Structure 1
Amino acid sequence: MLRTLRVPFAVLIFLFILLPSFRADAGMVSVGLSIGQSAVRISSASVMTAADGAGKRHSIGSSAEFRAAGAGTVSAGNRSFRLPVTISGKAPLSFNGRRYRGTFRIISSGSGITLVNVLDLEEYLRGVLKMEINPAWPMEAVKAQAIVSRTYALRSMRQNNGKNGFDLRDSVLSQVYRGINAEDKRADQAISATRGIVVFHGGNLAFTPFHSDSGGATADVTAVWGGSMPYLRGVNEPYPPSSPNAQWEVHLSAAQVEDALRQAGADVGPLRDLRIGETDAFGRANTLVAVGARGTQTVKSHAFRMAAGSTVIKSTSFTITSRGGAPTPSMPLPLPSRTPPPAAGGGKDVPTSNTPMSAAEERQLTALTEQGVFNAEELMDMLLNPEKRKGYLIRALRTRRPETPSQPSVPSSPSGGFVFRGKGWGHGVGLSQWGAKTLAEKGWDHKKIIQFYFPGVTLGKM
């Protein structure tokens, strides 16, 4: 894909779907564990060996701290090593209190260094699955998650193609990965039973997003991220899931709603009314209509949810009630400071940069991501276009406001704020994990579960 083209987000998603199925070396995956740091300390229960960029092998004992030394080198103790450095041992390697299979690789990253874990894809999944689904759930649901996670990782690997020196991150930017610490016997069984199986559509690897609980019906990708994908349309679940978020309720003041609307691109001034606009066939809110002193605007429900906070408004399957002047039984939940989502067309306004990000910038981007500053659309745009990551960081730092207590709303706003009553948790696209659990309890196997949530796909070996 030509990186210089400025195309709408929907087109980017479409191109993402049409990418070739997998790389020739898809059996191995590289995961960035620590990005752009000045030093990393690693250890093992056995003596470790370091192979430097010149091919020389050195015994480095059972613990070593590698520090960036400039000019493509690192130092450990009184020795200097040319990058990249590959570290191996007879026992698993450890970093930041976690043990990992495979090998470590230290590479240059701006003025700092990055630590990468290189291992077999199936072993990578062993460190992922427990972080994404409860392995104690019915085995067919766990198998479905294993296949979806494997497919998601392969798609990401193919698109990223080792840029920045690794394929995936160990955080929500890819899939949460915690190495051996996260391994589980039942999760291992699901991975082994589905080894090499992935999801295809039209001969290519499918894009397989997942979420916690659909609330009874999944969302069409068009209403969330844009684009039109036949296997990412909304489906109505035949059985109600019994998740902790089957029903939820949150009270927001008018000022909080006004702030979220501004960040979602609908600045209508002092709010007079907020109502649901378009809904899908299952009643999920696709758009909201905001009426204020400055006029009326329509905004995507997903954009509003991400601006308000995905842990505040847990899904877009909700109703809205004005509280009028009634007293509030509890303090409204604070809204986190957010970067406004991109206008229609995704991140068209975000500049690209071929300049490598510094270690400090990498740390800032990671911190902002963990704080939930970027919405799902922005994260996807960064995944598809790594050269935009620096532009997103600059925009976030320029537009992110410090968190301050909400100011009292003006008299024209509904004095009691709004009550959002909803069901489910997550963006709603693709596989619903709690829904998969319920289907497995009803006797569905993993293949039937996946083909229900991704209509028209097939399962096959890599």
Structure 2
Amino acid sequence: MSVALFSSPVVSPLPSAWLRGIGLLVWAWLCLAFPVQARVLLRVGIAVNKPQVRLGSSAPARLLDAQGQPLAEVPAMQPLQASRIGSAVSLAGQQGERLYLQPTTPDGLVFIDQNWYRGWVELIPGESGVIAINQVGLEDYVSSVVGSEMGHRFPMEALKAQAVASRTYALYHRSHRSQQPFDLGSGIDWQVYKGVAAESNRTQAAARETAGQVLVHQGQLINAVFHSSGGGHTDDAGNVWLESRPYLQGVPDFDHHSPVFSWTATIPAQQLQQLAGGIGAIRSIEILRSSPWGRAITLRLVGSQGSKDVSGSEFRRALGLRSTMIAISPRGEAATTASLTPAGANFPAFFQIQGRGYGHGVGMSQWGAAALASQNYSYQQILSHYYRNTSLAVVEGR
């Protein structure tokens, strides 16, 4: 697999690490069974370290061992349950260090845990349970992620921008995880992937009409992160994660019609006291450092018995806030334990947080992309705005 610019020859090869752990015989068998399957495969962790995983197939399926040898035939729609036994996985009365559940028809789907997926299932033992991996063609994956992350009602150019960003994100992580059991996960810590339920004609069109297109910086895939709503301005990666990227710079956002452009949260002082731990009743919260666009980088919780500094990301995660673009005000007067408060001191009962945007605020804003698309900007222009110093390239062998 290689990456080529639209206007020039191959820029740089991408690591072909997806064969890791899978014997060549398995790959040869799969290619013969499904010659039209996409050549670029992703291994997506769906269920990780679960005691049992529910599985099934919409079509008759074969259970294969690590060498691609058939172990059993599985009828369509038969409920199955995988579990770990020692250093092996067990399914349908068979055990092995690695098992595959493969539908026998190209349009067959596999069921993992609670969703249907295209492709097939790979099972391996994890540290504390079973790991169920969906091996799926790149473009099928992208179609589902666009629907999972953005839905299908946004303007088509926004959906296309999401398709390119999600494809790039997936291949970037695939190229950096050659020693890991799977390329990327399927939940909110990665990019959400819900299988065929999230697909629609419009998400499939967005994937098809941008097929193979990725974003590169100096010939290398970028980490094309994105978020829901930037609150009027996105931010530099270095402000949010303390690790700068030349293509992840703060830019004006156009998400003013986003339902999460502005919001309010009320946090009880007792909850903050538990978060801080050991500093007594909370007197105040100070934003020590913020980005030029108002995202809290470092905060200080001041209590009756000391203080504690936390990062903006930690503060957001612990309190379940929508973003770190916040302003904090004390409200009310708490009835506090005498041993925790100086005599005569007044302590807030809760803190009101006024916020803007939703997500980490780095990379493409989905609501901003929708606004630009509604103003007739193309997906190429949208991507160029949110990912600076990048070019579009094509993944060969898609």
**Normalised-by-shorter TM-score class:** 0.7 to 0.9
Q: Which residue of 1 aligns with 2:195?
A: 179
Structure 2 counterpart of 1:241, one-letter code: H
Residue 299 of structure 1 deviates from its aligned partner by 4.0
Structure 1 counterpart of 2:176, one-letter code: Q
Equivalent residue of 1:156, what SS?
A: helix
Unaligned runs of 5+ in 2: 1-11, 19-39
Instruction: Report the more deviating stretch, 206-215 or 240-249.
Output: 240-249
Equivalent residue of 1:208, what SS?
A: coil
Of 375, 387, 396, which aligns to 1:442?
A: 375
Q: Which residue of 2 aligns with 1:191?
A: 207
Equivalent residue of 1:322, what SS?
A: strand
RMSD value over aligned CA atoms? 2.9
Alignment of 1:149-188 (within 5 A): 149-161=166-178, 163-164=180-181, 166-188=182-204
CA 1:105–1:298 in structure 2 vs 1: closer, same or farther (change >3 Å)? closer
Alignment of 1:19-418 (within 5 A): 22-24=14-16, 27-57=40-70, 58-62=72-76, 63=78, 65=80, 66-70=82-86, 72=88, 74=90, 76-77=92-93, 80-89=94-103, 90=105, 91-110=108-127, 112-161=129-178, 163-164=180-181, 166-237=182-253, 239-260=254-275, 262=276, 268-294=279-305, 298-309=309-320, 313-325=321-333, 410=341, 412-418=345-351
Alignment of 1:5-20 (within 5 A): none
Equivalent residue of 1:177, what SS?
A: coil
Contact 1:128 1:175 in 2 (8 A): yes
Contact 2:143 2:163 in 1 (8 A): no
Residue 186 of structure 1 deviates from its aligned partner by 0.6
Equivalent residue of 2:75, what SS?
A: strand
Structure-1 separation of matches of 2:130 and 2:284: 52
Residue 144 of structure 1 deviates from its aligned partner by 0.9
CA 1:305–1:413 in structure 2 vs 1: closer, same or farther (change >3 Å)? farther
Unaligned runs of 5+ in 1: 1-19, 328-405
Residue 111 of structure 1 deviates from its aligned partner by 7.0
Structure-2 separation of matches of 1:105 and 1:213: 35
Structure-2 separation of matches of 1:232 and 1:257: 32
Structure 2 counterpart of 1:423, one-letter code: R
Q: Which residue of 1 aligns with 2:37?
A: none
Residue 201 of structure 1 deviates from its aligned partner by 1.1
Deviations 1:5-36 (A, max 9, x none): xxxxxxxxxxxxxxx86323661111222334
CA 1:55–1:407 in structure 2 vs 1: closer, same or farther (change >3 Å)? farther
Residue 447 of structure 1 deviates from its aligned partner by 1.4
2:392 is aligned with 1:456: no
Equivalent residue of 1:199, what SS?
A: strand
Structure 1 counterpart of 2:267, one-letter code: L
Structure-2 separation of matches of 1:67 and 1:114: 9
Instruction: Report the more deviating stretch, 178-187 or 41-50.
Output: 41-50
Structure 1 counterpart of 2:160, one-letter code: K
Contact 1:272 1:412 in 2 (8 A): no
CA 1:144–1:295 in structure 2 vs 1: closer, same or farther (change >3 Å)? same
Name the TM-score, length of structure 1 as normaliser.
Answer: 0.69
Structure-2 separation of matches of 1:110 and 1:250: 38
Contact 2:246 2:388 in 1 (8 A): yes
Contact 1:270 1:413 in 2 (8 A): no
Contact 2:226 2:364 in 1 (8 A): yes
Name the TM-score, length of structure 2 as normaliser.
Answer: 0.79
CA 1:269–1:30 in structure 2 vs 1: closer, same or farther (change >3 Å)? same
CA 1:424–1:59 in structure 2 vs 1: closer, same or farther (change >3 Å)? same
Number of residue equivalences: 354
